Amino acid sequence: MHARVVLTSISQCKQLHARLLVSGGAHHHPNVIKLITICTTQGFSAYARLLLHGIEPVSSLACNSAIRGLCDAGHLLESLLLYCRMRSYGVKPNACTLSSLPKSCESLIHGRQVHCDVIKFGLGSEVFVSASMVSMYARLCCVQDARRLFDEMPERDSKSWNSLIVEYARSGCHRTSLDMFWRMIEGGLECTRIAMAKVLHACACLRDIEQGRRIHDHIITSGIE
């Protein structure tokens, strides 16, 4: 099965799956993995899960591919359910999966379970995994956990900086938010529009006109609209 096959309807996916079954290709994991990936990227998540259930034993590559696709497509609950099923089979997640999955966690319980797996499988040193965990804890209003992970990161990307800046401002820690903003700028990283709006709001709350002007000047010189 060619990796660049484009399917635009669920009926086309079913037709291709039927051809694989007839030819015996459905038992060849790479073919099923490609079909699962196509289904998830096209938004046919339910059919992707059905295909995954047909793979025995469950393939690590297939699971990780499907979970990432579900996360990217916004099917957050399904991605978590599929992850739990994958783990029940003893299949190990990879770094790409554990960097995608945190955005599916809408409760602290789920977030901590994913974090435990990050530690268990020794993936905490992966920058993009740690950055996703920092963003998750910040989004779940656990700024202390987010900051602890942030401080432990060997390298800090703009995603982790922006996540903390936004959460500090949202929780009323305006001085800390502004301090982190300037540290990030000095480090040569880019601030998102959302974070920029938050630090400007922090200046307003603190009635810090001078710092507000400095940030406004930075917005103009950096070309941020």
Residue 37 to residue 59: CA distance in whole angstroms: 13
- In the predicted model, is pLDDT for residue 18 greater than 70? yes
- In the predicted model, is pLDDT for residue 6 greater than 70? no
- In the predicted model, is pLDDT for residue 72 greater than 70? yes
Quick one: pLDDT band at residue 86, thresholds 50, 70, 90? confident
- In the predicted model, is pLDDT for residue 16 greater than 80? no
Largest CA distance in the chain: 72
- Tell me what the mean pLDDT of segment 32-60 comes to: 72
- Tell me what the mean pLDDT of segment 145-155 comes to: 92
Quick one: pLDDT band at residue 2, thresholds 50, 70, 90? very low
- In the predicted model, is pLDDT for residue 224 greater than 60? yes
The full set of domain ranges for the chain reads 1-92, 94-156, 157-225
Answer for the pair 62, 34: CB distance below 8 angstroms, yes or no. Answer: no
Distances (CA, A) of 47 to 104, 185, 217: 19, 45, 51
For the entire predicted model, the pTM comes to 0.76
- Tell me what the mean pLDDT of segment 8-26 comes to: 69
Q: DSSP characters for the chain?
A: --TT----SHHHHHHHHHHHHHHTGGGSHHHHHHHHHHHHHTT-HHHHHHHHHT-SSPPHHHHHHHHHHHHHTT-HHHHHHHHHHHHHTTPPP-HHHHHHGGGG--SHHHHHHHHHHHHHTT-TT-HHHHHHHHHHHHHTT-HHHHHHHHHH-SS--HHHHHHHHHHHHHTT-HHHHHHHHHHHHHTTPPPPHHHHHHHHHHHHHHT-HHHHHHHHHHHHHHT--
